[in-house]
Amino acid sequence: MTLQTQDSPPWLRMLQIVIGGISIVLSMFILAYIGPTILTTILILSVILLVIGIERIAVGIAMPSPRGSRFANIGIGMLVIAFSIVLMQFPVFTSAVLVVLVAIALLLNGIARVIHGMSSKAAGSYRAFLIGVGVLSIAVSILVIAHPISLGLVLFALMISIAFLITRIEMMALGISGRERSITRSISK
C-alpha cells in the first residue's frame, strides 16, 4: 500500500464553492428575517438541505476514499435530499414535525463530517476542522431532538441556520483551497 495525494477535481471545487455560497446566502437570509414567516423558513431550510444532499453525493462519487466512506456520503446525501423533498411538499404538516426531521438530517450530516474527518489522511488542522464542524452539527441536532417544544420553531431555525452557515463556510473553504486528498491504494505489480 502506498500513500498518494490527489487534487479535488475542478468541477467538484466549483460545485463546493457555488453550493457553499448559495447556502451561506440562504442561511444569512434566514438569520435576518427569521420572524416574518415560519413557512418561508421551512422552504429555505428545505432548499439548503437539498444542496447539502447534492454536495454529499458529489463528494461520495468524485473523491476516491475508502468504500464505506464513499457509500456513507452517497447514502447520507440521498437521505438528506429525501428529507428536503418531504419538507418542500408538505409545509403545513412539516411545521409540526420539522424540528425532528431537520435535526435528524443535521445529525446525519454531522456524522458524515466526522467520518470524513476521521478517515481523511490530510493535515491535522483540516481533519480537526472537519471533525469539529461535525461534532457541532451533532451537538446542535441532539439538543433540538431532546427539547423540540421548549426550544420552539424560531429558536430552532436560528440554531440550524447558524450550524448550516458554519458547515457551508467550511465547504467553500474546502472548494477554494482545493486541498489535496491523501488516499491509500494497493498497487499491484
For the beta carbon of residue 133, count every other beta carbon within 10 angstroms: 23
Mean pLDDT of the residues in the chain:
79
On whether the CB atoms of residues 158 and 34 are closer than 8 A, the answer is yes
pLDDT tens digits, residue range 113-158?
899 888 877 777 888 888 999 999 899 888 878 877 666 666 666 7
The x, y and z cell numbers of residue 60, run together, are 461520495
Extract the C-alpha cell encoding 89: 411538499
CA 84 – CA 69 distance, rounded (Å): 22
Give domain limits for the chain: 2-184
- Please write the tens of the pLDDT for every residue from 76-103: 999 999 988 988 888 766 766 777 887 8
